[in-house]
Amino acid sequence: MDNSTQSYADIDKLISNQNSLLEQQESKQNDILNQQLQMQIDQLNRNKEDIDKETAKTNAGLYTEYKKASNRYGANAENLFTQGLGNSGYAESTQTNLYNTYQKNITDTNNTAMKLKADFDFQMQQARQNRDVQQAQFALQLYQQKMNLLSQEYDLKNNKEQQLYERGIDERNYNYQLGRDAVADNQWNQQFNYQKSRDAVADSQWNQQFDYQKSRDSVSDSQWEKEYQRLLAQAEAQERWNQTNYDYQVARDNIADNQWEREYALAQAKAKSGSSSGSSKSKTENVVELDNKDNNDKSSYLFNFQKVINNVQDAVAQKIIQDGGNTEEAREKAYQYLLSHSR
């Protein structure tokens, strides 16, 4: 059984039950009409039998009357004989009239009976025709009802088709929405899992970035510490250089003071040139020797001091080159440093 048959099973069952009821109604109605017709026919047949009985009874009475009237020894004959007409032509004529009257009465009675029976036959025919008309009218009513059932069946099936179509549309939309929801759920899960993985990657990247930044901070701290130590060393070297320069200047001032005092002493000695020449010569040689000795000490000190300064400057220049990665720019900075600090 296909789906369409199954979908119309309730409608077909309803229409079939209603048709069955109409057929039962038609059968019962025909039975009633047939019973009513049979009752009418039976009654008319009984009436016809009664007519036959009355006709036979009437005919028998007419015959009896005829016999009595035509009896040669009856009252009529006696009257005729009394009148002297017993064997006359009048008597014969009277007998003939009696017979004719009898025959006429019989004929009239039979004709009346036949007419009445014909009326009853006509009534039976009319009853059958009326039954047929009633059956035709009822058949027409049943036909109209069955046509209404067909229209009702069409409407029901059409509505059923519309309902099935709408339900099919609803089921299609529902199934489509289910599919879309499944797709949306799948997409959401994929997006969620993707975002979850991206969050994990972001967390990992953040941790890596944090660890990298931490290591960079450690490197920066180390570099800062190294730079600080370098600057501290440079400041200490500068301090030492300043102190050395200060000491050098103090020494130079002492030398200058010493030279001034010697020059002053020499001037005083020249002023006292009136003293013995030998004595003056001796003083002058002493001053020259002392001056030469001081110049030698000074040269030795300055050489050692310059040597220290050069060593410090070389160390700073090497540090600049090392911190700069031994690049051309670093070497240029070191060179400019040496130029700016050379004396």
Q: What pLDDT, on a 0 to 100 scale, did the predictor assign at position 182? A: 93
Q: What pLDDT, on a 0 to 100 scale, did the predictor assign at position 151? A: 78
For residue 312, is it within any domain?
Answer: yes
For residue 203, is it within any domain?
Answer: no
105 and 248: one domain?
no
| CA dist 242 → 126, 246, 305 (Å) | 162, 6, 12
CATH of the domain at 168: 1.10.287
User: Which residue bears the tokens 């004709």?
Assistant: 111
pLDDT by 10s per residue, the chain, length 343: 455 555 678 878 887 888 888 788 878 888 888 888 889 889 888 888 888 888 898 888 888 877 776 655 445 545 544 554 444 444 456 667 777 887 888 898 899 889 888 888 888 888 888 888 887 887 778 778 777 877 777 787 778 777 777 888 888 899 999 999 999 999 999 999 999 888 998 888 888 888 888 888 888 888 888 888 888 887 777 777 677 667 667 767 877 887 788 788 888 888 887 554 444 445 455 544 545 555 555 455 455 555 666 677 777 878 888 888 888 888 788 878 877 776 5
**What gap in Å lies between CA 157 and CA 242, rounded to an integer?**
118
81 and 152: one domain?
yes
105 and 184: one domain?
yes
Q: What is the DSSP letter of 74?
A: S
For residue 202, is it within any domain?
Answer: no
42 and 168: one domain?
yes
For residue 295, is it within any domain?
Answer: yes
**What gap in Å lies between CA 319 and CA 306, rounded to an integer?**
20
Task: Indicate the residue type of 225.
Answer: E
Question: Count of domains in the chain?
Answer: 2
pTM score: 0.41
Length reported for the chain = 343
**What gap in Å lies between CA 22 and CA 16, rounded to an integer?**
10
Do 51 and 117 form a contact (C-beta atoms < 8 A)?
A: yes
147 and 36: one domain?
yes
315 and 175: one domain?
no
Q: What is the DSSP letter of 73?
A: T
Do 121 and 30 form a contact (C-beta atoms < 8 A)?
A: no
**What gap in Å lies between CA 298 and CA 304, rounded to an integer?**
10
**What gap in Å lies between CA 77 and CA 80, rounded to an integer?**
5
- Domain with 285 in it: 226-341
Do 94 and 77 form a contact (C-beta atoms < 8 A)?
A: no
167 and 308: one domain?
no
For residue 123, is it within any domain?
Answer: yes
Phi-psi region of 84 (alpha: psi -120 to 50; beta: other; left: phi over 0): left
For residue 199, is it within any domain?
Answer: no
Q: Where are the alpha helices (DSSP H) in the chain?
A: 3-7, 9-70, 75-83, 89-271, 277-323, 328-341
106 and 244: one domain?
no
